[in-house]
Structure 1
Amino acid sequence: MSAKRILPARNVVDIDGLIRIADRAEATLLQLRDDLLAPWPRKTSPMISGTRLAQMCNIERTKLNHLCSKGIIPAGQLKGNGRSRMFTLAEARAIVQQIGPHKRRPAGTLGLVVCCGNFKGGVGKTTTTVAVAQGLTLMGHSVCLVDLDPQASTTTLMGFVPDAEVTEDMTVMPVVYGDKEDLLYAALPSYWDGIDLIPSSPDLFGADYYLPNKQASDPTFQFWDVLNKAMQPLREKYDVIIIDTPPTLSYLALASFMASDGMIIPLPPETLDYASSTQFFRQFSELFNSMRHGKQIDKEFEFIKIVLSKVKSSVSMTDIVKTWIKQTYPELLGTAEIPETDLVKNAYAEFKTIYDLESYDGSQRTYNRAIEAFNAVVAELDVSLQTCWAHREMKEAA
C-alpha cells in the first residue's frame, strides 16, 4: 500500500477573494496617501524660495529683493534672520507673469493641446506629463491637465484617489456618451495654482466598449472627433491642455491623438524601450494611414518631441542607446534629458514630482541639477509652443 502524497496547500482566489483584495488595496492606498500627505489628506503646493523665484524671472536675487522692498511685487514672507524670502506658488506665478522673461500666448490665438504618449509602461509617461504641466505654469502659462489613462496615475499624482473620489460624471465619459458637448464641466481646480485637472477613473475602460458599438450602429458617428470638438472651450480658456493618454492603441487613445496639436514621447535610453519605440511609430503611422485611406482624414502634428527620460548616466549602455535614438529620430529628439536619480525616484514614491519639493535634505547640487534638467525640458517644449503660436498668428494676419 503506497503512502498518500502530501501536496502543497493551494492559494485559491475566487471572486469574493478578489473583492476582498481590492477593498484592502484601496484602503491601504488611502491610508498611505493620508500618511504621506499629512497633516492633510490632500496635496498642498510648495513654497518658492526667493533664490528660485529670481532664477525663474532671470534676475539677480538682490534685484528681486529691491522690487519687493519698493512694493513693485509682493514681498513674500521673510524667514530666519530676515534675509531670505519665501513666496506662495500663486505669488510666484503672478511675479513671473509680471516681470519674467517668458512669452505669453498671443492675444487672439487658441491654446494648444499636447498629448504625452507611449504604449510601453515604465517609461515615465505620467510623471513627465505632470512635471511638464507644473513647469509650464512656472513660466506663466495656464494649464488644463487631462487624464485619459483608465489607470488614473496622473489623477493619483495630483492628489486624488480615483476609485474613492472620482465618479464617472467627473471624467470625460459624459462627452464620450454624448451627454455633454464640451469638457469645461470636468475641469477641477487643483492644489497647484495654474493647473486645472480633468480626472480619470477605471470608468474610462468603458469608452473602448461604447465607442466601437456606437460607430457600428451609427455610420455618421465619428468616434475619432469626440474629444477634438469638446476641446474647443478649453483651448479658449487655457494656454496649454496636456493629455496623459492611455498606454494602448485604444479608441480613446486615437481620439486623444486626433485632438492634439503636438506630442511628447518619453523614451528611456535602454535597449528594450528603444525597440518598443520602433513598434510604437509603426503602429502609430499605420493607424493614421488607414484613417487617411479609409475615412479620408488627414492628421498633422505641429511637433512631435522625444524626451529622453529616466536617463542612467552611470550605465555603460546608456550612451550607446542614445546614439541609436539620435540616428533613428534626428528630427524629433530634444536635447534636454530627464535623469534618473534617487531624488526624483523618492519624490515619486511620495506622490510628488521634483517641482513639489521645497528643498532637499541631501546635496543641494543634486537638487539644483534635477530642477535644471526638468526646466530645460519644459523650456524646449515652450519653444515649440511659441513657434506654433507665432505661425498661427502670422496666418491669421495674412
Structure 2
Amino acid sequence: MDALGCPRYSDYYHSRAIVTQNHKGGTGKSTTSGALAVAAALDMHLNARTLLIEWDPQGSIGSGMIQSVAEDDVFLTAIDAILGVYEEDSDYKKYLDLGYSEEEIIESMPFSTHLPNLDVITAFPTDARFKDKYWQCSREERTELLLRFKEVILPVLKKKYGLIIIDTPPEDSPITWAADEAADGILVAVSPREYDYASTTDFMLTISERFKQSPSKGENLRWFKVLAVNVDDKSPYEKIVLDKLVRTVQELFMSANIKNSEAFKAAASRGRTVLDIKKSEELCSPKQLDVAEESVMAVYQQFINEIKSFSVKERSNA
C-alpha cells in the first residue's frame, strides 16, 4: 500500500496498545485478540502496521501465526525483554554484552506472519518467572519492573506499529499488571454464561481499586470496553445474561458482539483465525463461517473506530 502512495495509519493517528483481558480463562479472549489483529492487518483502508503480543505464558495463538523460522532464530518474549537486564545468563543480556543497544534488540523481536503488515511476539511457559522475580523485589524494584515495558520497550515498538494488541493471561498477577501499565486501552472479553458474568462482575469491581494502587494510577488508560463473545442469539438464557451484563457495565458495553460458531474451533485447531480460512477448505459449514466472519468484522469496525476516536494526531494548518 505504501508503494501505491496510500496514506498510512501513522500519518493521522497515534500508535495505541490495547490489552485484551479477563481473569477467567476460556472466555474467548485469545481468539478475539487474534481475530482483531488479523482484521486490522487485512484492512487496506486502515493501512496500519499491526503487532500481536502474546503475554500469556501458556498461550499459543502467536506462535501459530509465524510464517517461517530459521534454525538459528532466537525467540525473545516481552517478558525476556523486561527481565533481560536483570538476568546475567539470558539471551537478551548476551546481546547487550555483544554491543547491541536495547532498541536494536527490541526491534528484532517480532516475527513476520502470513500477512505483510502483521507481526507477532510470542510467549513461552518460562515467562511465568516474572511473578517470582516480582515478589522477590523491594517495593522500588517492583515499580521498576512494572514500568519497564511501558517506559523502555513499548516506545520502540510504537515507532513501527500503529496498533499493538496484547493478549494477557487469565489471572490477576504481576505479569498482567505490567501489561496494564503500558495499556492505552483495555478490552474485556466475556461469554454470556452465568459463571463468566459473575467472574467479570467481580473483575470490574476490583480493577478500579487495583489501578489506584498501581504506579500509573490508571491515568494511562484512555479507553475501556466490555465485549460479549461466543454469543448464541437463539438462546433465551444467554439473552438474560447479556441484559444483566448491559445493566452492570452500561456505557462500557460494546454494542457489537462475536457470535458462537464452529468456525472458531476449526480455525483454532489449525493455528489460524476465522478470517484466514476459506469455504473451499470445508473445515466447517459455509453458514457457520459466514456467521463468524460477519460478527468479527462488525466488532472490528466498532473497535477500530473507537480506537481512532482518541488517537487522532493534531495536524498543522500550515
TM-score range relative to shorter protein: 0.7 to 0.9
Partner of 1:143: 50
Partner of 2:60: 153
Partner of 1:172: 79
User: Secondary structure of the equivalent of 2:115?
Assistant: coil
Cα pair 2:107 2:157 within 8 Å, conserved: yes
What are the within-5 Å matches in structure 2 for residues 165-204 of structure 1?
A: 169-178=76-85, 179=93, 181-182=102-103, 183-204=106-127
Match of 1:282 among 182, 205, 217: 205
1:134 aligns with 2:38: yes
Matched to 2:289, the amino acid is Y
State how far apart, in whole Å, the 1-side matches of 2:184 and 2:302 are: 16
State how far apart, in whole Å, the 1-side matches of 2:78 and 2:217 are: 27
Partner of 2:89: none
Partner of 1:376: 298
What are the within-5 Å matches in structure 2 for residues 1-398 of structure 1?
A: 94=1, 104-107=8-11, 109-139=13-43, 140-159=47-66, 169-178=76-85, 179=93, 181-182=102-103, 183-216=106-139, 219=141, 222-229=144-151, 230-291=153-214, 297-360=217-280, 361=282, 363-390=285-312, 392-393=313-314
Cα pair 1:144 1:238 within 8 Å, conserved: yes
Higher relative contact order (CA 8 A, sep 6+): 2
State how far apart, in whole Å, the 2-side matches of 1:118 and 1:363 are: 30
Q: 1:363/1:221 Cα in 2 relative to 1: closer, same or farther (>3 Å)?
A: closer
Query: Number of paired residues?
Result: 293
* CA RMSD after TM alignment: 3.0
Cα pair 2:227 2:257 within 8 Å, conserved: yes
Matched to 1:228, the amino acid is K
State how far apart, in whole Å, the 1-side matches of 2:272 and 2:38 are: 11
Q: 1:128/1:219 Cα in 2 relative to 1: closer, same or farther (>3 Å)?
A: closer
Partner of 2:99: none
Q: 1:175/1:108 Cα in 2 relative to 1: closer, same or farther (>3 Å)?
A: farther
User: Secondary structure of the equivalent of 2:311?
Assistant: helix
Cα pair 2:24 2:170 within 8 Å, conserved: yes
Deviation at 1:349, TM superposition (A): 2.4
Question: TM-score, normalised on structure 2?
Answer: 0.82
State how far apart, in whole Å, the 2-side matches of 1:262 and 1:348 are: 26
Deviation at 1:270, TM superposition (A): 1.1
Matched to 1:328, the amino acid is T
What fraction of aligned residue pairs are identical, expressed as a percent? Answer: 23
Q: Which runs of 5+ in 1 are unaligned?
A: 1-93
